[in-house]
Amino acid sequence: MGKAMIIHLVLGILVGGGFGMLLGYLGKCSTGTCPLTANPRRGGLYGMIAGAIVALSVSISKPGADTFAFGETTRTAETGSVSSSLRQIGSLVDFENTVLRADLPVLVDFYSDSCPPCRMLGPTIDKIAQSYAGRALVCKVNVNQLPQLAGRYGIRGIPAVLFFVGGDEKNRLVGLQPEAAYTSVLDKLAN
């Protein structure tokens, strides 16, 4: 259980318990059999249980949690494979140095961990990074961490995959596309 999940659980218990106690105090069930409104103590107990359930169900497991970044190399825990051309962009300076100043064509995947189509695209992007190692650079930008970068490029829907050559955007594919759509653009740009 990760640190973020524990924090979600504790917050869920506290908020649920507080809300349940408030309902128990204000609700005043006339029969005494209502679980949340019979009394503040019972309302707090049921609220804590409900808060824990909600916190655990809402707690988002990040799809990249099994991936460990080592500089410009990414190692996937499941397969142990290494892709030397996949790069997670963490700042505007990193984007400028890695993408805009690259000598190779660059595929940039703008995504969010909470976006199901983005999570579905993840393995395709990893596969492309491995197959185009040395011919193209593949990067990922989390729009929640770098909203100003997403704004700069007018990203309104994700996943959005932008292609750069010499610092200029050459093409863009929005929404989940088949692998062939991305590789055909890269093939044209890599020649």
Enumerate the active-site residues. 115, 118
CA-CA distances (angstroms) from residue 118 to 3, 17, 69, 151? 24, 35, 19, 18
The strand order across the sheet containing 168-174 reads: 86-89, 137-142, 106-111, 160-165, 168-174
Burial category of 93 from C-beta neighbours within 10 Å (exposed 0-12, middle 13-18, buried 19 and up): exposed
Question: Residue 94 corresponds to which amino acid?
Answer: D
Question: Residue 2 corresponds to which amino acid?
Answer: G
CA-CA distances (angstroms) from residue 106 to 33, 62, 63, 147, 166? 64, 24, 23, 20, 9
CB atoms within 10 A of CB 78: 7
Helix pair 40-58, 3-27: axis angle to 10 deg = 150
> What is the four-CA torsion angle of 134, 179, 105, 147, rounded to 10 degrees?
-120
